[in-house]
Structure 1
Amino acid sequence: MARIDHFNNPNAPKPNSIVVAVTVFVQDDQGRVLLIQRTDNGLWALPGGAQDFGEYIADTAVRETREETGVEVEVTGVVGIYTNPNHVVEYSDGEVRQQFSICFRARFVNGEPTTSDESSAVRWVLCDALDHVAIHPSMRLRIDHGLEQRENPYIG
């Protein structure tokens, strides 16, 4: 299913759903950030996805990271909560989702980067290389907040 992110676009379609979702900010022992190249839009992003029924939200973060990257993580905190009503995601099936995403901080446990149906590439990316990777501005905000090591989570 194709995906278009509308960010501060006055011509964006009106949302028709809100789904609880997560992203996961994790660095390896060299300080590199784990990123996937999404199959639905080709952009690089933190791993993540929607919460399933019967699942604790931190377990969603662990599961989504494992499914999309092959990497096992342990949640250690919250980077931020992202609810910008001017960020909507339009899917080819007609769903237009208003953003609601909790970005978790996690610790690398083990595993090797492996692609999935949702990730055409998985890499540990050096912080200096982030400016040379195609990342949506809303995702880059999460990454920057994760790198800042904020004392309190971002709420916005």
Structure 2
Amino acid sequence: MEYYKQIRKYVGHQPLILPGSNILILNAEGQVLLQEREPGIYGLPGGLMELGESFEDTAIREVLEETGLHIGALQLCNVYSGPD
């Protein structure tokens, strides 16, 4: 079971901080891989971190789960937080 679902049992509907990763995948022409999340809504592959994972591990796992693509080692580019 996903970590956030285990935590949700204890905190109910209280706000949670849920770290996650997204990954920017470019082809040889510089086009970005997007996935359709729901009709007409597109986003980058990614998802929530599981216990014991790094941000890079999370991105690699999520890309495999969501796209079937196997990607190599990654380097963290940036961390974004805050209201903006």
TM-score (norm: length of structure 1): 0.40
Secondary structure of 2:63's counterpart equals helix
Letter in 1 for 2:67: T
TM-score (norm: length of structure 2): 0.69
* 1:129 aligned residue: none
* 1:80 aligned residue: 78
| Residues 1:29 and 2:35 aligned together | no
Structure 1: runs of 5 or more not aligned: 1-14, 87-156
Question: Within 1, Cα distance between the matches of 2:53 and 2:22?
Answer: 15
The higher-RCO structure (CA 8 Å, 6+ apart) is 1
Structure 2: runs of 5 or more not aligned: 1-13
Aligned residues: 71
Question: Within 2, Cα distance between the matches of 1:42 and 1:59?
Answer: 29
Q: Which runs of 4+ in 1 moved over 3 A?
A: none
Contact (CA 8 Å) 2:45, 2:62: kept in 1 or not? yes
Q: Which has the higher helix share?
A: 2
Q: Which has the higher strand share?
A: 1
Question: Within 2, Cα distance between the matches of 1:56 and 1:17?
Answer: 19
Give me the identity figure in percent: 34
Superposed CA RMSD in Å reads: 2.1
Secondary structure of 1:79's counterpart equals coil
